[in-house]
A and B are shown apart, each in its own frame.
Chain A
Amino acid sequence: MKLTLLSVLFLSPLLAEEPATEKPAAAPESMITGSVDVGYRWVSGPAGSLNTYRSIVNLGSGLKLLGAEFTIVDTKKRLFDRIETRAYSWGDDPYTTMHVNARKQRIYDFNADYRNIAYFNAMPSFANPLLSRGSLLNQRSFDTQRRFSSFDLDIFPSRTIVPYFSYGRSSGFGGGVTTFVTDGNEYPVPNRIRDSMEDFRGGVRFEFRRIHFSLEQGGTRFKDDQQLYSSGITNAGNRETPFLGQTLLLTNLLQSYGIRGTSIYSKAAITANPVSWMDVSGQLLYSQPRTDVNYQQSNTGNFVDLRNLLFYTSQQYLLSATAKLPRTSGNIGVEIRPFRRVRILESWLTDRLHTASSTALPAQSARLVTNYSQQEIDVLVDMTAKLTLRGGYRYVWGDASSIVLPVAGLNGFDSGKLQRHVGIAGFSFRPGSKLSVSGEFEGASSGRSYFRTSLHDYRRMHARGQYQVLSTLLLAADFSLLANQNPAAGAQYDYLARQNSLSLHWTPKAVKFTIDGDYTRSTMRSDIFYLVPQTLTPERSFYRDNAHLATALLNIPLPPYRGMTAKLSAGGSFVVSSGSRPANYFQPLMGLSVPVAKQVMWVSQWRYYGYSESFYAYEGFRTHMLTTGLKFSR
C-alpha cells in the first residue's frame, strides 16, 4: 500500500492536467483559505547507532500531515471574524503542534495551543558505567512524550476593562532506565514516568490612556507518580567485585513516588505615563508553591549498610515530606526624557525566596534562601538622528544560603554573597537606510559571587551590523564575546567564548534565484582549578569547543513548463567542532516543488543526516530521508 501511495505521489506531476490559463473572474472573499500538505516520509536505516539517531533526530517513516494552515472568515461576523488554524507534523512525528486563534473584534480573542513532543534520550556513552564491559546501556535514558496544551481567552466588554482567563496543562509519560542506589552498589532498573501540571490564571486589565494596571490571580496543580519496578530478576548492578566477600544484588524492587503540588500566586502589574516626559512600569508578585510527598520503597536482595557494616536482605522505606517555597518578587522601571535627545532609564528589581522543607524522619529538614537584587541606570543620548550613545551602571547584590540537616559528617551549611558592579556602554549608528551598526559592552568587577564558575570579573561585548550592499544583496555580521575570570585561589577560573557570524541574503533580479547563508565561527575555552577526588591532588580542567557552523539555502526557479514554474532548493547545514568533544553533524537537503494544478503543488525533499564523534565512534549515525507529498491550496 505504501508503494502504491509513493507511486501516486511521484507520478502525480506527470498525470497532472495543464492548468487553466484564463484569468478567473473576480470572486467574493472565500470563507476558507489555506493549504494542506500531505506526504509520505521514507527513512533509510539509520546506519550506525539507532539510539543516537532517536536522541537527536527521531523522525520516522510513514504517512504524514506535514502541515495545514487555514483561515476561516465569517464575512457576516457572527460568532467570529476570523479563525486562524495551523498544524504541523501530524502522523506519529516527534514534534506535533497545532495552534488555533479565533477572534471577534472588540468581543474576544481566543488562542489555543497544543504540542506533543517526544523526548527520547539514550546516548550510549552517557551514564554508562558498563561501557568498558562492552555494554551500550544508558542508565539514565528515557523514552517519553510530553504534551502541552494551553487555552487563553481575552474578553473585551469595554475598551478599558479586559478580563482574561488562561488554562494550561503539561503532562509527561513514558518509560526509561534509571538506577536504584544503595550503599555500595547501584542497579539499573526500568522506570515509569508519569507527571502532569495544570496551570490556571485569570485577571483583569484596566487600560486607560495614561495608565494600565493588571490584577492577576493564578495557581498550579502538580502531580508526579514515578515508579521503579523490578521483579524476579537477579540484578548484580554496577559493582564489579564482591564487597567483603559478598555479592551485592537486587532481586525485587518497588519504589514509588506520590508527589502532589499546589501553588497559588497573586500578581499586580502597572505601566503608566503620568506626564509626557516620564514612563513608569512595575510588577509585584507573591507566590507560595508547596509539594507534599509520599514515598515508599520495598526491595529484596543482598545489600550492605556501610555505616553499620551490616548486610541485610530486605528493606522497607516509607517517607513523607513537605516543602514550601514562599517567593516575593517585584520590579519597577522609570524612563525619563528630560530633553528631546536624552533618555534616562532606571530600573530596580528584587527576587526573594526561600524553601522550607521537612521529612517525617527525625531532624531531616532543609532550608534554602536566596535574595537577589539589581539596580541599573542607563543614559541614552541621541547625539544626532543617526547616532545614539548609551552609558550605564548596574549594581547586583544578594545573599544565598542552604542548610541541610542532619549534618551526618558532611557540611550541612553553605552560604554566599553576591556583589557585582557593572559598567555599561553602547552605541547605535545608522548613517542611512542601508547601513546600521550597533554595539554593547559590559565590564564587571565582582566582590563576591556564588559559584566558582559564576560571572565574576567579566567583559561582555556584542556588536552587529547590517549593510544593504545592493538592492538585492544584504550582508550582516554579528560578533559576541564573553570573557570571565575568577582569580580566587583554588578556582583561577578563566573562560572565553567568542562567536563571529557573517550572513548574506542575495536575490539577484536577473537570474531570479535567492541565496540565504550564514557562517559562524564559535570558539570557547574554559580552564579551572580543582582537586582530584581520590587523591586530592591539584589539577586543571580544560574544556575546549571550537566549531564551524554554517547554513545555506539556494532557491532556483526552473524554466516554466506549460505555464508552471517549478522551484528547486538546495542547501542545509553543517557543524564541525573540535576540542573536548569533537563532533561533525551534516544535514544537506535538496527540495523540489512542482505545481501540478492551479492549487496543487507536488513537494519533495531529500535530506541526509550524518553525525559522527571522534571519541565515541559507536555513537555515529547516518541516514537518508525522502519526503514527498502534495500541497493543496485554496
Chain B
Amino acid sequence: MSVPLLLVAFFVARLALGQDAPAPIAPATYVGSEVCQTCHEDLFNAILQSPHQAVNSDKKHGWDGKTCESCHGPGSKHAESASAAEIKNPAKLAPAAADRTCLQCHLNQPTHSGRIQSSHAKNQVSCTACHQIHAKGPLGLVSRKPAAINEQCASCHASAWAQFQRPYKHRLPEGAMSCVDCHNPHGSFRPSMTQTFAANEPGCFRCHTDKRGPFTFEHAAVRFESCNRCHEPHGSSNPRMLVRQEVRFVCLECHTNLPSQSTSTAARAALGVVPPAFHDLRSPRYRNCTTCHQKIHGSHVDRNLLR
C-alpha cells in the first residue's frame, strides 16, 4: 500500500513543483576558519571551546581547518564583501534547510534512528531550536541540567509544563527528573516520542521495574495501550496520577458488565468488559477496586489480580 502512495506523492510533487529551478550556486571557495576569525573572533573562540572544536580536525568529512564553513558554506565572497547576503546563515534558513546543514555530519548517528518518525522534524522544529551552535563551553550546545532542560522544553510546551504544577506528578519541578527522561527529542517510533527501555519497551519500565513483568496473569490494558490508559504521566489532580477521581471510575470505564462485543462481527471496542462483577458499590469495601485487586499491573500468581 505504501508504494502506490509514495509514487502518487512523488508525481504530484513533481507536477506541482517541476518548474522550480535549483538555486544558483555562488561561485565561492573555502577560505579557512582563520579568515573568519579576523572579524568573528568571539564566535571563533567560543566554537573552539565547544564540542564542535572536533570539526577543526575532521578529515572524515573533509572539514579540517574549515570549522566555520562546514556550516556556513564557502566564505570567500563574504570575506571579500563583508556582506551578510554573501554567506549562508543557517539561523535564517527554513528549518528543514537548517537541519540539512547539521545532518551533513550528524545524520548517520544513532540518535537519529527515530528522526523520520519524530514530530519535531515533522513540525519544523529545527536542531537549532534546542541546540546553540555558537555556545561556549564543552556541554554548551544544549542544556544538560534537569531544570534547564525542563525550562527549554516548557518554552514551547507550556501546557504540558502546566500539568506538572498539579499536586500528583512526576518530580520534574523539583529537578529530580527532566523531560528527556521520558521523551526522546530526536524522535522515537513510540507515540509522543517516548523513550524506550531495553527491548523497545515503554520507558516507564526503566524506573517502575516491578511493573514490567512478564506476569503470569497480565492486565491486558498495560500491554495493549501502555500506562497512560489509567495514568496521567504529566500530572493530575487525582491521587496516583489517575485519569479519574477515584479508582472505581477508572476501572468501570472498561469493566462495565456489558456483554462482550468481541464475538460479534461488528466489534468496535470490546476488551475488558468481561469478566462481569456484581460488587455492591454502595459498600465502601468495593469502592476502591485495588483494595482487593491489588496487583492491578499484573499478577504472578492469581488470575483475578488479588495477590
Contact = CB atoms under 8 A, between A and B. Distances in A.
Contact of A340 (B23, B210, B278): B23
Nearest to A73: B138
Contacts of B238: 581
Contact of A377 (B2, B108, B198, B209): B2
A366 B218 contact: yes
A388 B189 contact: no
Contacts of A279: 103, 107, 115-116
B253 A518 contact: no
A294 B303 CA distance: 16
A364 B302 CA distance: 9
A214 interface: yes
Given A291-B215, A520-B162, A181 B269 contact: no
Contacts of B282: 534
Contacts of B257: 530-531, 533, 536
Q: Is the interface of A mostly helix, strand, loop or mixed?
A: strand
B256 interface: yes
A239 B198 contact: no
Contacts of B174: 89, 95
Give the secondary structure class of B's interface: loop
Interface string B99-141: 0000100011110111111010111100000000000001100
B280 interface: yes
A355 B161 contact: no
Contact of A381 (B13, B154, B165, B252): B13
A211 interface: yes
A548 B62 CA distance: 54
Nearest to A205: B110
A389 to B, nearest CB: 10
Contacts of A86: 145
Interface stretch (B33-41, B64-72, B79-87, B289-297): B289-297
Contacts of A95: 171, 174-176
Interface string B1-36: 110011001101110111010110000000000000
A219 to B, nearest CB: 8
B60 A121 contact: no
B123 A440 contact: yes
Contacts of B249: 541, 543
Contacts of A340: 17, 20, 22-23
A-B pairs, 10 with minimum CB distance:
A287-B199, A333-B116, A95-B176, A520-B162, A325-B214, A212-B108, A428-B124, A581-B245, A501-B158, A499-B159
Interface of B: 1-2, 5-6, 9-10, 12-14, 16-18, 20, 22-23, 54, 60-61, 92-96, 103, 107-110, 112-117, 119, 121-124, 138-139, 144-146, 154-159, 161-163, 165-168, 171, 173-176, 189, 198-201, 206-207, 209-210, 212-218, 220-221, 223-225, 229, 237-240, 244-245, 247, 249, 252-254, 256-258, 260-262, 267-288, 290-292, 294, 300-301, 303, 306-307
Nearest to A280: B116
Interface string A431-473: 0010000101000001111111110100000001010000000
Nearest to A333: B116
A186 B267 CA distance: 37
Interface in A1-44: none
A140 interface: yes
B159 A500 contact: yes
Of listed B18, B109, B292, residue having the most chain A CB within 10 A = B292
Nearest to B222: A368
Contact of A426 (B123, B173, B223, B261): B123
A551 B171 CA distance: 16
A208 interface: yes
Contacts of A377: 2, 5-6, 9
A549 B166 contact: yes
A214 to B, nearest CB: 5
Which of B107, B209, B210, B213 lies at the interface centre, i.e. has the most chain A CB atoms within 10 A of its CB?
A: B209
Contacts of B109: 207, 212, 271
Interface residues of A, number: 206
A395 interface: yes
A281 B114 contact: yes
A448 B267 contact: yes
B162 A129 contact: no
Contacts of B224: 370, 400, 450-451
A558 interface: no
A293 B114 CA distance: 36
B245 A404 contact: no
B14 A339 contact: yes
Contacts of B278: 533-534
Contacts of B113: 269-271, 281-283
A338 B13 contact: yes
A410 B274 contact: yes
B207 to A, nearest CB: 6
A217 B114 CA distance: 19
Contacts of A128: 284, 288
B1 A411 contact: no
A355 B224 CA distance: 12
Contacts of A395: 1
Contacts of A598: none
A146 interface: yes
B189 A501 contact: no
A178 interface: yes
The residue in A128, A339, A450, A479 that gathers the most chain B C-beta atoms within 10 A of its C-beta is A450
Contact of B213 (A106, A291, A375): A291
Interface in A533-559: 533-534, 536, 541, 543, 545, 547, 549-551
